[in-house]
Structure 1
Amino acid sequence: MAPRMGRRLRRWLRRPAVAAASDGWGERDHLPAPATTERVLAAAGGADPNVGPAEFATALLIVARDGDPALRAAVVTALGTAGAPWWLAVDQALRQRWWWAPAWSRRLAADLADGEVDELRLVVAGCHHDGRIREAAVVRLADCEHPAAVAVLALRACDWVAEVRSRARSVVEGWPSPPGGPALSTLAELAFALRGRRAGGWLAQRVDQVLRDLPAQRLDPLLSARDRGTRRAAYCAAIAAGQLSLDRLTTAAIREGDLPIRTMCARAAVRAAAGPAHLHAMLASRTALVRAEALQALIVTGDLDVAEAALADRHPLVRGIAQAAVRRTGGDPAEHYRRLAARQAPELGVIAGLEVTGELGVVAGLGETGVADDADVVARWLAHPRARVRAEAIRALRRLGVTRPAELVPMLRDESPAVARQAVASLRGQIGAVAPAVLEGLLDADNPPSLRLAGYRLLIAGDAWQRLATNLRLLGDADERLRASARADVTAWLVREAAATFHEPSRERAAELAGLIEAARPILGDHRAQVLRFHAGLDVLSTRGRR
């Protein structure tokens, strides 16, 4: 049953229209010409990226005021498909645009008190800047179950005005049963989107409770809702109520697009599994947490073969579980990885029986469990045809504590930027082992951008004066990324490190810096150039030279 509109609110709603008629204020609206019908309908659901919330709010007010009943009904229907982000944006825009329609605001207030108001006008009234009009719209929307009406009630249940908020919450609490179909999905989506607001927690908690009490046939559509927050809440309620079969849990654990849902379903499936078949199916999931849950459950049952097979998993979490299981039985995971790594020359492609992800796990696993003596085995994988495996081989060598510049410097020229980045990460710890001339050669303008960037990162990892010289040379470089990086690094060095650099550059480096600073003076500016000369000790050195 709809709540009754109080006398005080009704008197206020009537007053503006009476005052306007008696005083002859002659206020008029300032809304522009209406947009085309097709444009309004296309934008109502938020699907047209060319129409922003402010533009749509203006068109919505015009249609609500001047559109024929058929058009207004069509717009309400389209609004029922809008998502929570669009509703939040349109609600804010409407509150601003209502200031452009003072005359209609007065007429609408009077209609809310005594007249007939259709759903679209109630919807836009529910987004008015005046709290009393919003409150009156909430009272009139109480008996409406259209998704657009439910969306406005959800917004107002989190309203910043206590009276409006209380009215909307009374409507929600007074429903004999929750709205059905798309309206429930809209309510849930907005409730979880509004949860972060100061007054938003009540509605989210209410919806959580509603979902927990829903029967399976009404909860089922929400399991495929577009909003992931709604899907999460629905899955949580369905799992808690035991409404999902083991097959459905397993399918969701493997195929659901949201990681928390996949994890939730995986854990529920593990608890509900009557045998190992479903657990083995979950080992095919693309989510590491799902595979890890299934693997852990299978290991508990005593299936140690699956642990050995999972040693080559692509994710460290799954590999870690498998490695621990093998160690508990007295085995050595490293020996397993060594056997796999030696079965075929990596430059020839995939190991028999393993896909690329399996090869990746073999190389990574040997890096995790092996010793420095395994470096020669791992280094063979630097020639693998797949970039992901080459990058993992460099990372594995680093884990083993082995960095051999003779092998890694050529990897800087790898066609894959990911491989080059891993080579840089390894060589930065051994920068003194690489001749500066080799690194400076990587900065040649003819080299690919990724190779030049690799050389830059290694050069600035040297001593302070090599870093400064490298940056100064690149301040005017044609490559925008290198140029921006060099300018930012000069600034960072001056702000954070220059005052703590106590050693002076060698005479050769000082002469180089003097020339570079003068060449870069138009970019640096006189003040910064002078500060750089001071920190490099160039003025002191020149004075000593004169003496």
Structure 2
Amino acid sequence: MLWGRRDSAVRPPSVAGESELLGAVRVAVHEACDGRWAALHRLVKVLLKVDALGDEVVARSALALVAGLPGLVVRLDGHARPAPYAQYQEPAMRRASTWFSGVSPGPVATALASMHGDGRIRERAVAAMVSQPYTEMMPFLVLRTADWVRPVRDRARAGLAVLLADDPAVCLPAALPMALRLDARLRAGFAVTQVQAAVLAVTEQVWRGVLGEGGRRERRFVFELVLTQGRLRVPDLVTFAELDPDVRLRARAAEAACREAVWTRRLDILQRLARSVRAEVRVVALTGLIRAGKDADVVGHLDDDAPLVRAVARDAARRLGVDVRTRYRTGVEVGEPGSGAIAGLAETGSAADAPLLQRLLGHERARVRAQAVRGLRLLDAVVPGELAALVRDPSPAVVREVTAALRPVSGALPPDLPWELLRDGRVELRRAGYRLLRGRGVDVELRAALILAVDANPRLAERGRADATRIARDAARTTWRRIPRPELQVTGAQHAELVALAARAAAALDEETSQQLSGWLASSHPGE
């Protein structure tokens, strides 16, 4: 369908022109998702250009790009309200209301008019959306069900109720995301209640379609409803628990499946879920086995990789009288110890078990070395000299664990080691050196931050800039603050080095931070 063209002199656009315009809409949508009022204003202008084409297919395609993001629709609605920058948005909204008042307004003009500051225009836009419902306009209609003007709100609510009742299979997937987005807003309860009733009324094919293709919030909402109604059978729950990408849905499905399995004595289901690759599923299944009196089956998970699973297994072992520490020691002493056995020994052992872990520091598997270092840290049996040799381990995981273990005893390390690491070619070693220099005084932290601020790695550079900015702002604070200003206690050579580092990092820091650092260093007098 084509609606009345506003400018009869405008020629029909080419297919390439339509594609280019939709591409501009995509770019504007992307920028408006995180941008401020200027980005939202550009999006409105691009949408109005689409509406000027008079092509329903192109207009609905452009509107779908916006309607698929409920948060953006809400931001656009707030953007249309009168604000201090109203001079930037008023002309665009006036154009939208003018076009909407035409003979045959298009979807874009109708959607934008539904967000107009004039309640009468919004009410007419709602009536137009209800009389000619497009799925792309459903989020805009749902938004108006929470309107602060009662006539607008009542008309939108009546239209939403009728549309959901007449064609829930089409309207529910389009209305559900926005209804859940407004859940915490005042006057939004009606929309949530309507979509809830629609979920309970639709066929199994429809709600399963939402569970398969909807967003995370919508899938969780529908899952809880159909689970409460008993529409999900045990095989369905097992499938969700094993394969669903959402951790919350996996846990809820596993809980429901295991509860049903305990009541019906379906031990095969509990044992199957206990072998799941997901730790949250294994925990629930093992708890079900304990309730079913199968403690012996649970004890077999003492060396599981997940801490909570090991805790559940230890609880079962305690009731059976199993010596857990001896079990873990035996597991660590074998040729290929599992990471779960190493972690379990660290959780239940003492410093007397440290030699068992120290011999694993040279193991060929990086995961074993990393777990051994973590275990020594948990047992409070860290020997700085032994772990310092591992700080340049080929595995980044081992480097992280060694750094965490050495931080409390960094004073016992060679003084030059952290600085050497900070200038190393490997990213994980530079990160380790920086972490080992934390807490050594403001002069050391500032020097390290200025070095890191110009690092080739963007994340490390960002960390260095943030810390340098924090130190500079602390030094520039007013005197009435309770926390005293940091004081530089450096020699003349160290002061000169800080000045040189600040000059080198000036391009990476913002202008205010650079000025604060320069003033602070200029006012600081180096000691002898």
Same fold (TM over 0.5): yes
Match of 2:69 in 1: 84
The answer on whether the counterparts of 1:471 and 1:490 sit within 8 Å (CA) in structure 2 is: yes
Aligned pair 1:320/2:311, yes or no? yes
Letter in 1 for 2:361: L
Single out whichever of 406-415 and 475-484 deviates more from structure 2: 475-484
Match of 1:401, SS state, is coil
What is the Cα deviation at residue 40 of structure 1?
4.5
Alignment of 1:390-469 (within 5 A): 390-443=369-422, 445=423, 447-462=425-440, 464=441, 468-469=443-444
Q: Deviations over 1:248-290 (max 9, x none)?
A: 1111011111122111111111122241222222234443222
Match of 1:244, SS state, is coil
Which of residues 153, 160, 163 in structure 2 aligns to 1:165? 153
Which of residues 233, 239, 253 in structure 2 aligns to 1:251? 239
| In 2: Cα distance, 1:435 partner to 1:215 partner | 70
Gaps of 5+ in 1: 1-26, 352-358, 543-547
Match of 1:363 in 2: 342
Match of 1:17 in 2: none
The answer on whether the counterparts of 2:172 and 2:195 sit within 8 Å (CA) in structure 1 is: no
Aligned pair 1:332/2:332, yes or no? no
The answer on whether the counterparts of 1:473 and 1:516 sit within 8 Å (CA) in structure 2 is: no
What is the Cα deviation at residue 208 of structure 1?
2.6
- With over 3 angstroms needed to count, the CA separation of the structure-2 counterparts of 1:103 and 1:398, relative to structure 1, is closer
- With over 3 angstroms needed to count, the CA separation of the structure-2 counterparts of 1:287 and 1:491, relative to structure 1, is farther
| In 2: Cα distance, 1:303 partner to 1:109 partner | 72
What is the Cα deviation at residue 418 of structure 1?
3.1
What is the Cα deviation at residue 55 of structure 1?
5.0
Match of 1:64 in 2: 51
Match of 1:19 in 2: none
Q: Deviations over 1:334-377 (max 9, x none)?
A: 22222222221x4xxxx5xxxxxxx2222211111112121122
Which of residues 312, 337, 352 in structure 2 aligns to 1:373? 352
Letter in 2 for 1:38: S
> Once the two structures are aligned, what percentage of the paired residues are identical?
29
| In 2: Cα distance, 1:280 partner to 1:479 partner | 51
| In 2: Cα distance, 1:520 partner to 1:498 partner | 26
| In 2: Cα distance, 1:476 partner to 1:176 partner | 61
What is the Cα deviation at residue 216 of structure 1?
3.0
The answer on whether the counterparts of 1:319 and 1:365 sit within 8 Å (CA) in structure 2 is: yes
| In 2: Cα distance, 1:447 partner to 1:471 partner | 21
Match of 1:141, SS state, is helix
Single out whichever of 72-81 and 204-213 deviates more from structure 2: 72-81
Q: Deviations over 1:426-466 (max 9, x none)?
A: 112223432324445445x455343244234324444x3xx
The answer on whether the counterparts of 2:63 and 2:108 sit within 8 Å (CA) in structure 1 is: no
Match of 1:38 in 2: 19
Letter in 1 for 2:114: G
What TM-score do you get using the length of structure 1 for normalisation? 0.75
Q: Deviations over 1:398-444 (max 9, x none)?
A: 1111101122101211123332222122112223432324445445x
Match of 1:105 in 2: 97
What is the Cα deviation at residue 228 of structure 1?
1.1
| In 2: Cα distance, 1:53 partner to 1:493 partner | 36
Q: Which one has the largest radius of gyration?
A: 1
- With over 3 angstroms needed to count, the CA separation of the structure-2 counterparts of 1:260 and 1:103, relative to structure 1, is closer
| In 2: Cα distance, 1:162 partner to 1:203 partner | 15
Alignment of 1:11-160 (within 5 A): 36-40=17-21, 57-67=44-54, 71-73=55-57, 75-76=59-60, 79=63, 82-85=67-70, 87-88=73-74, 99-100=91-92, 102=94, 105-106=97-98, 108-109=100-101, 111=103, 122-160=110-148
| In 1: Cα distance, 2:154 partner to 2:428 partner | 60
Match of 1:487 in 2: 468
Match of 1:159, SS state, is coil
The answer on whether the counterparts of 1:469 and 1:512 sit within 8 Å (CA) in structure 2 is: no
- With over 3 angstroms needed to count, the CA separation of the structure-2 counterparts of 1:98 and 1:437, relative to structure 1, is closer
What TM-score do you get using the length of structure 2 for normalisation? 0.77
| In 2: Cα distance, 1:325 partner to 1:64 partner | 67
| In 2: Cα distance, 1:315 partner to 1:55 partner | 49
Aligned pair 1:265/2:253, yes or no? yes
Q: Deviations over 1:454-507 (max 9, x none)?
A: 234324444x3xx625744774576364764773575488579995999x98xx
Letter in 2 for 1:468: D
Letter in 1 for 2:390: M
Aligned pair 1:295/2:286, yes or no? yes
Which of residues 242, 250, 253 in structure 1 aligns to 2:230? 242
Letter in 1 for 2:227: I
What is the Cα deviation at residue 147 of structure 1?
1.2
| In 2: Cα distance, 1:514 partner to 1:84 partner | 53
Match of 1:310, SS state, is coil
| In 2: Cα distance, 1:374 partner to 1:197 partner | 56
The answer on whether the counterparts of 2:275 and 2:282 sit within 8 Å (CA) in structure 1 is: yes
The answer on whether the counterparts of 2:50 and 2:62 sit within 8 Å (CA) in structure 1 is: no
Alignment of 1:166-205 (within 5 A): 166-175=154-163, 177=165, 179-205=167-193
The answer on whether the counterparts of 1:185 and 1:225 sit within 8 Å (CA) in structure 2 is: no
- With over 3 angstroms needed to count, the CA separation of the structure-2 counterparts of 1:228 and 1:91, relative to structure 1, is same
| In 2: Cα distance, 1:100 partner to 1:489 partner | 42
What is the Cα deviation at residue 80 of structure 1?
5.1
How many residue pairs match? The answer is 482
Match of 1:142, SS state, is helix
| In 2: Cα distance, 1:250 partner to 1:318 partner | 19
| In 1: Cα distance, 2:105 partner to 2:450 partner | 66
The answer on whether the counterparts of 1:405 and 1:427 sit within 8 Å (CA) in structure 2 is: yes
| In 2: Cα distance, 1:178 partner to 1:159 partner | 23
